[in-house]
Amino acid sequence: MSGKTISFGQALNAALDDAMADDGNVMILGEDVADEQGGGVFKVSKGLSSKYGTSRVRSTPISEQAILGAAVGAAIIGMRPVAEIMLMNFITVAMDQLVNHAAKLRFMSGGQTNVPLVVRTTTGAGVGFGGQHSDMLEAWFAHVPGLKIATASNPADAYGLLRSAIDDEDPVILIENITHYGMTGPAPEAGYRVPLGKAAIAREGRDVTLVTYGRGVGDSLKAASLLADEGIAAEVIDLRTIAPWDEQAVFASVAKTKRAVIVHEAVRPFGAGAEISARIHEELFSDLLAPVQRVASYPSPVPFAKPLETAFLYSVDDIVRAAHATTDKAINS
Amino acid sequence: MNKSDSSHAFTPELARSIYRKAYLINRTDQRFRAMLTNGELAVAYYPVRGQEVTAAAAMSALQPEDYLVTTYRGLHDSLAKGIPSRLLWAEFAGKRTGTCKGKGGPMHITYPPTGVMVTTGIVGSGIPIANGLAMAAQIRGENRVAVASFGDGASNIGAFHEALNMASVWKLPVVFLCQNNQYAEHTTLAAGTSVTSIAERAAGYGMPGVSCDGLDPEMMYQTMAAAVARARAGDGPTLVEAHTYRLQGHIFGADYSYIPKEELKAAEERASMMRLRQRISERQVTESDLAQIEQEVDAEIEDAVAFALKSDPPDPDEIRFDIYETEQAA
Ligand SMILES: Cc1ncc(C[n+]2csc(CCOP(=O)(O)OP(=O)(O)O)c2C)c(N)n1
Ligand SMILES: [Mg+2]
């Protein structure tokens, strides 16, 4: 780290800038991404079209299928397109390009073509955008062999994950949380990389493992402080890559703590937590002192009115309660 | 479109080459259907009988380094774009020696050495992908052109409309080749499409739209060559509608009694190999030239069939590879 601080949005902008400077094949396309259109709705590509030209930083028509289709086509001949899908729900009108093409062309071509494509997209509840602008849909993509999905919990990781995603020879979807853009943190050195598929230990502890990613990391760290006040040492694992996820890091931690809670913002049923919980049970059943707990959002569309939105989102208290559910038995006995 | 442009002249050499491609497509399709009928192979196959000339002439307007994206009904396009018969047959038979190691199959042929970049089984999805190939060529300042080949039915799906608009806005070096074979599965053009001429749809996207007789080798070639030249010159995309015909059911073995007998008979005549042979022979291609082409192609197909049949299927362990760059655990 350089000793400076940087915002999440600035980190992403710097990652794109550095990647474009390093490799002429890196290009950006998406709605309103060029400076004439404002440099992106969240300003992540600000300044880049002025610096690299509108051939490499292209504002597109409102055509998600055409955006991702063009990105797939360019990627199979060695460009490194970074496509911005303004909000994650808008991917639904272009699922075909990701699921049937980006994910499968390497395999179906017998390895003759690959798709080094990055999709950046934003989402998240809590800011009153309601039902069609807030969903966390990572589990859909995690279910498709051939895709990778990652999400950062701090600015340095945002930079490092985006650089690694652009380097990667396979399609990567990067989810940004809409509440994160203003978050500040230590700035990474230029060229910093966070390897895909590698989790980080955000806080060490020996009593219970909180497995999480994205926004859940900050909330789990808050829960860990509250738990520490009660004498429970929680370890927080930031997966960073959701698929393929770092099983070894999670198993190593849970083998030590013998208790696990999975925390994510996406709704609970069939969420990423279900797979992670199942794998922990498969690998460590006899080590566990309690069933794995899941903390996630309530299965409804993301509501608009504040009390409903609050009822939808999990809370830090929910994480603490879930940790208690895994520890009570051991502590009481 | 300037049809008399001498650079697009329909020379005897070109006529011979188009005949070779069309004959190769026709006999490959015929041989493949025969093997499906007698049970030597069992795969889903979308016949191309009737569309031989369309592909043979249209692809002759391209350079080997130009890109093609085609569809499940793509055997004709793939062969016309130069995929070696042996590799194509082996892929159709699901063998490790096929273009895609047997992992793609007839619906997903890829062969970058001759520019066949994607074959998709999703109607219309190749059209935006062709834009991406063209966009890359544009950014890199290369002189390549991308072609999206698709059916009349595909002009009703959203991807077509998004892609044509984007290509026009960005003046991409791409040609949209709609092979209007009059049917989308069982649905006639009239029953499923709001216009009688698909080329008209180009007007909505500010690009030229041209219709041609896709069974006339010279018309097809020259229409395509003009569109390719326009794209290569940086003047943007063209929608080319080739009137052609699907002389079989949608998929091998499917009923096609819904096609009126008269209509089918007329189309069979228009698309017959005898008629093509006649036309080509009017172009200073001799009977002995034609006979030699036929002999060579017949031998090429027999060699490819033997190669495919004697090749091994993929090893089951191969499933772990090509999902990601790094192999996956068993
Ligand atoms: C998105 C999608 N919808 C439906 C299908 C099933 N389907 C396969 S081919 C086809 C008809 C397409 O007709 P056309 O575009 O005219 O091409 P042709 O088969 O005549 O070559 C349909 C509906 C599909 N493969 N993809
Ligand atoms: Mg059709």
pLDDT 10s digits, B46-78: 999 999 999 999 999 999 999 999 999 999 999
Tell me the residue type at B77. D
Inspect the interface and report whether the beta carbons of B138 and A55 lie closer than 8 Å.
Answer: yes
Q: So what's the pLDDT on residue A328?
A: 77
Q: Which residues contact B114 (CB under 8 A, 6 or more apart)?
A: B64, B81, B82, B83
What is the 3-state secondary structure of chain B?
CCCCCHHHCCCHHHHHHHHHHHHHHHHHHHHHHHHHHCCCCCCCCCCCCCCHHHHHHHHCCCCCCCEEEEECCCHHHHHHCCCCHHHHHHHHCCCCCCCCCCCCCHHHCCEHHHCEEEEECCCCCHHHHHHHHHHHHHHHCCCCCEEEEEECHHHHCHHHHHHHHHHHHHCCCEEEEEEECCEECCEEHHHHCCCCCHHHHHHHHCCCEEEEECCCHHHHHHHHHHHHHHHHCCCCCEEEEEECCCCCCCCCCCCCCCCCHHHHHHHHHHCCHHHHHHHHHCCCCCHHHHHHHHHHHHHHHHHHHHHHHHCCCCCHHHHHCCCCCCCCCC
Active site residue A133: yes
CATH of domain A200-326: 3.40.50.920
Whose structure tokens read 């190939």?
B133
Q: Does domain B6-306 have CATH number 3.40.50.970?
A: yes
Measured in angstroms, how far is the CA atom of residue A319 from the centroid of ligand 2? Answer: 56
Q: Please calculate the CA angle A282-B324-B307 and round it to the nearest 5 degrees.
A: 115
Q: Do domains A5-186 and A200-326 have the same CATH topology?
A: yes
Active site residue A169: no
Of A66, A78, A108, the CB nearest to B128: A66
The DSSP 8-state label assigned to residue A139 in this structure reads: H
Q: So what's the pLDDT on residue B1?
A: 42
Measured in angstroms, how far is the CA atom of residue B72 from the centroid of ligand 1? Answer: 9
Mean pLDDT of A166-190: 97
| Domain edges within chain A | 5-186, 200-326
Mean pLDDT of A276-294: 98
Q: Give the long-range contacts of residues B212-215, CB within 8 A, separation 24 or more.
A: B212/B240, B212/B241, B212/B242, B212/B243, B213/B242, B213/B243, B214/B51, B214/B53, B214/B54, B214/B57, B214/B58, B214/B179, B214/B180, B214/B242, B214/B243, B214/B244, B215/B53, B215/B54, B215/B243, B215/B244, B215/B245, B215/B270, B215/B271
Structure tokens at B174: 């791409």
Check if B245 has its Cβ closer than 6 Å to any atom of ligand 1: no
Whose structure tokens read 């600015």?
A155
Please state, in angstroms and rounded to a whole number, the distance separating the CA atoms of residues B177 and B81: 14
Residue nearest to atom 12 of ligand 1 (CA): B184
Query: Treating both helix axes as pointing N-terminal to C-terminal, what angle do B158-170 and A64-75 enclose, rounded to 10 degrees?
Result: 70
Q: Is B111 within 8 Å of B78 (Cβ atoms)?
A: yes
Q: What is the pLDDT of residues B85-133, one digit of tens each?
A: 999 999 999 999 999 999 999 999 999 999 999 999 999 999 999 999 9
Q: How far is CA A11 from CA A16, A219, B287, in A?
A: 9, 21, 70
Q: Is A93 exposed, middle or buried (0-12, 13-18, 19+ CB in 10 A)?
A: middle
Residue nearest to atom 4 of ligand 1 (CA): B123
Q: How far is CA B110 from CA A76, A108, B69, B134, in A?
A: 11, 8, 9, 17
| Domain edges within chain B | 6-306
Which residues of chain A make contact with B135, given a CB cutoff of 8 A?
A: 70, 73-74
Helix (H, G, I), strand (E, B) or coil at A209: strand
Mean pLDDT of A60-72: 98
Q: What is the pLDDT of residues B128-166, one digit of tens each?
A: 999 999 999 999 999 999 999 999 999 999 999 999 999
For ion ligand 2, residues whose CB falls within 5 Å: B 151-153, 181, 183-184
Task: Tell me the pLDDT of chain A averaged across its residues.
Answer: 96
Check if B76 has its Cβ closer than 6 Å to any atom of ligand 1: no
Q: So what's the pLDDT on residue B2?
A: 43
Share of chain B above pLDDT 90, in %: 97
Q: What is the pLDDT of residues A223-265, one digit of tens each?
A: 999 999 999 999 999 999 999 999 999 999 999 999 999 999 9
Residue nearest to atom 3 of ligand 1 (CA): B123
Q: Is A176 within 8 Å of A122 (Cβ atoms)?
A: yes
Q: Does domain A5-186 have CATH number 3.40.50.970?
A: yes
Q: So what's the pLDDT on residue A298?
A: 97
- Residue in B with minimal Cα distance to A243: B324
Whose structure tokens read 């895709």?
A147
Helix residue spans in chain A (DSSP H): 8-22, 48-52, 64-75, 95-96, 105-108, 138-142, 155-167, 215-229, 247-257, 272-284, 306-312, 316-332
Measured in angstroms, how far is the CA atom of residue B179 from the centroid of ligand 2? Answer: 7
Q: So what's the pLDDT on residue B5?
A: 53
Residue nearest to atom 17 of ligand 1 (CA): B151
Q: So what's the pLDDT on residue B129?
A: 99
Question: Closest by alpha carbon to B177, among B144, B143, B200, B211?
Answer: B211
**Of the listed A101, A133, A180, A264, which one is catalytic?**
A133
Q: So what's the pLDDT on residue A131?
A: 94
pLDDT at A329 over 90: no
How many contacts does A have with B, using Cβ atoms within 8 A? 150
Whose structure tokens read 């062709």?
B130
Check if B249 has its Cβ closer than 6 Å to any atom of ligand 1: no
Q: So what's the pLDDT on residue B119?
A: 98
Atom of ligand 1 nearest to the CA of B71: 21
Q: Is B63 exposed, middle or buried (0-12, 13-18, 19+ CB in 10 A)?
A: exposed
Q: So what's the pLDDT on residue B4?
A: 46
pLDDT level of residue B7 (50, 70, 90 thresholds): confident
Q: What is the pLDDT of residues B273-283, one digit of tens each?
A: 999 999 999 99
pLDDT level of residue A3 (50, 70, 90 thresholds): confident
